[in-house]
Amino acid sequence: MLDTLFTQVRLLDPAAGMDQPGALLVRDGRIADFGADLGRPDGATVIAAEGAVLCPGLVDMRASLGEPGYEYRETIASAAQAAAAGGITTLAALPDSRPAIDDPALVRLLTARGEETGSLTILPYGALTRGCRGEELAELGLLREAGAVAFTDGGRAIASAKLMRLALAYAHGFAARVVVHAEDPALAAGGAATEGELATRLGLPGIPAAAEAMLVARDIRLARLTGGAVHFAHVSTAEALALIRAAKDEGLAVTCDTAPPYFDLNETAIGNFRTYAKLSPPLRPESDRLAVAAALADGTIDAVASDHQPRDADDKRQPFALASPGGAGLATLLGVTLAQVHGAGLALARAIALLTAGPARLLGSDAGTLAKGAPADLCLFAPDAAWRVEAGALPGKAQNTPFDGRALEGRVLGTWKAGKRVFG
């Protein structure tokens, strides 16, 4: 493999506190050197990208891949294509496939299938309960031994507090996090939008926003009781964030992520029954959106995940209350996050930390850094380049983006996996 030399770039590595102009040399698939000015090795490929940012490949800590069982929505190959276009080189795959990832052999299979793509490292979550049904714990120890990075039932909350207590205690014994879809199942049952004036006007069954905070409060108490580590996924309300902030101040092993829809869109995006904007949890009022955006900057939120939930046309071409919730998010993860930099004052280094070092730390991965000797998983992007999201023209199979028509600034110019260019 020929050496690759990046020159005239802004080197941005939040894990190392690095933000400087300079050059970076890739040799044998690894980062060999970086600095203000590097000489050009004989035969090296030179990529001069003045004004562009070179950062670690993005680490997406929450995505469904569709495979196994839902290949009509997405496949590992199509998801890898979309991820590469979005600058993502490492991805944590949810276990809510068919069959669920509750068997060690399936954990190893997902890892191997990621390697086969040549562009994406897949870090599998193990199912928290058998079949992700919320009835009895899966074999957490065997799943962890096979390579599961954490345990979750994906988009299903654990209704039983007793079962959740056991889950946190057992996972703690294996030094693993439990990742929670924070939504009280009884309150959310049958709902399609956040309960309030808009849902009433549209005649949609509502889900009270308090359903999120109620489960967050319960599981914080259980984390305190067991000493276990709990991670709240796609947090979307101010009330839940306040509880998480307080738990962190207390020193509990509590972390959280959110997804771009919850800081870029509010509930009005469902418009005239626009099913592409039907998500789980549902979009919230503007006050909650602003609270999520503020929590990105103040450190309450540890990571931004794509929350990629592929759906096909038949899943969405239904009356709003019957349509499947979920949005495609791989190709838009960086661009929508950068909208907070351009329009809301979020520091670029903080935004990239939420997409690299933050999720890598939570997943126990050595990705998300530009350290010398690290694999050359890289994302090169033009922070001010404008583009428009267009459903039907996104890379990959899933086109159900809630951001259809959204104008963005920040385009991926190239993605490298272990020194090999896989996009751009």
Q: What percent of the chain has pLDDT over 70?
A: 100
Decide the pairing of beta strands 254-258 and 229-233: parallel
Sorting pLDDT into bands at 50, 70 and 90, what band is 110?
very high
Is 161's pLDDT higher than 80? yes
Is 259's pLDDT higher than 80? yes
What pLDDT, on a 0 to 100 scale, did the predictor assign at position 40? 84
What pLDDT, on a 0 to 100 scale, did the predictor assign at position 167? 98
Sorting pLDDT into bands at 50, 70 and 90, what band is 1?
confident
What pLDDT, on a 0 to 100 scale, did the predictor assign at position 39? 83
Q: How many residues does the chain have?
A: 424
**Residue 96 and residue 155 in contact, taking contact as beta carbons nearer than 8 Å:** yes
* Residues designated catalytic: 307
> pLDDT tens-digit profile of 112-160?
999 999 999 999 999 999 999 999 999 999 999 999 999 999 999 999 9
Domains of the chain and any CATH numbers: 56-363 (3.20.20.140)
What pLDDT, on a 0 to 100 scale, did the predictor assign at position 236? 98
What pLDDT, on a 0 to 100 scale, did the predictor assign at position 132? 97
Mean pLDDT, range 376-387, rounded to an integer: 98
Separation of alpha carbons 298 and 291, rounded Å: 10
Sorting pLDDT into bands at 50, 70 and 90, what band is 88?
very high
- Angstrom CA distances, 39 to 1, 5, 287, stand at 18, 9, 52
What pLDDT, on a 0 to 100 scale, did the predictor assign at position 38? 87
Diameter over CA atoms, the chain: 68
> pLDDT tens-digit profile of 327-360?
999 999 999 999 999 999 999 999 999 999 999 9
Q: Which residues of 113-137 are buried (b: 16+ CB within 10 A; e: fewer)?
A: bbeebebbbbbbbbbbbebbebeeb
**Residue 67 and residue 74 in contact, taking contact as beta carbons nearer than 8 Å:** yes
Mean of per-residue pLDDT scores for the chain:
97
Residue 42 burial (CB < 10 Å; 0-12/13-18/19+)?
exposed
> pLDDT tens-digit profile of 221-250?
999 999 999 999 999 999 999 999 999 999
> pLDDT tens-digit profile of 38-68?
888 888 999 999 999 999 999 999 999 999 9
Is 404's pLDDT higher than 80? yes
Is 2's pLDDT higher than 90? no
**Residue 58 and residue 15 in contact, taking contact as beta carbons nearer than 8 Å:** no
